[in-house]
Amino acid sequence: MLNLTVSKTILDLAKRPEGFLESLHEVITLLGWHPNDIDGSIHIDENLTYPEGSARVSHHGTHHEILMHPRTDKPFPWPTIRHELMHVALKSRISNSLDEQAFALPIEQGYCDQTFRENLEEYFVRALNIIPMREQFGENWYREQIQCEVNNGFLLMPRASVFASRFHDRKGNFDVTTFIEFAEALQSKT
């Protein structure tokens, strides 16, 4: 069972308290899981020391905390919430380090100190997170997002997006095997 709490400050900024549970449900659906597949607690709160528009999740066993600094001049960042919740879901259910699959993974400078598994997860979360928005904003927007990720240092995002799209289309159930297949797809030269 998962317990989700949101600070009053973030609830006030979001203006749609139900959006948090909707985002969590969307993550569970994207991963092909069921609500009871994730255990623990998630707390979402504001952190004004972060750069405006950013969010981070920290993991403490089965407790996860998403801290964010939403821009007040823009709509509430539901895609960012979905992104961070996807990290929570993957961390809570899959503990494998994937050290056997490790290879030099091109990544944005700010992620260089993370483990291979964390960076592989970042690629997958970014690739899967833009799929619902592709359906909303269209194929040209989707291609621009992939190019933006490449420009930011995620050089294998074209391969990652192909894998994530195929995973999404076949309505798979994300597990350790999927992670291994994803690593292999990113490392593939074809």
Task: Decide which of 93, 117, 148 is a domain's last residue.
Answer: 93
pLDDT tops 90 at residue 58: yes
Same domain assignment for residues 60 and 27? yes
CB of 153 closer than 8 Å to CB of 160: no
Same domain assignment for residues 105 and 178? yes
Same domain assignment for residues 12 and 44? yes
Same domain assignment for residues 122 and 65? no
DSSP character string of 126-179: HHHHTHHHHHHH-HHHHHHHHHHHHHTT-TTHHHHHHHHHHHHHTT----HHHH
pLDDT at 37: 87
pLDDT (average), residues 52-79? 94
Same domain assignment for residues 103 and 88? no
pLDDT tens-digit readout, 1-12:
789 999 999 999
Same domain assignment for residues 105 and 79? no
Q: How confident is the model at residue 190 (pLDDT cuts 50, 70, 90)?
A: low
Instruction: Single out the residue of 115, 112, 100, 98 nearest to residue 179, CA to CA.
Output: 98
Same domain assignment for residues 6 and 89? yes
pLDDT tens-digit readout, 72-108:
899 999 999 999 999 999 998 888 889 888 998 999 8
Task: Decide which of 62, 93, 124 is a domain's last residue.
Answer: 93
pLDDT at 188: 86
Task: Decide which of 41, 66, 93 is a domain's last residue.
Answer: 93
- Residue range(s) defining the domain that contains residue 170: 99-187
Same domain assignment for residues 131 and 72? no
Same domain assignment for residues 106 and 145? yes
Total tally of structural domains belonging to the chain: 2
pLDDT tens-digit readout, 142-160:
999 999 999 999 999 999 9
Same domain assignment for residues 73 and 104? no
pLDDT tens-digit readout, 114-135:
999 999 999 999 999 999 999 8
* Partners of 63 in beta bridges: 41, 60
Mean pLDDT of the chain: 93
pTM higher than 0.95, yes or no?
no
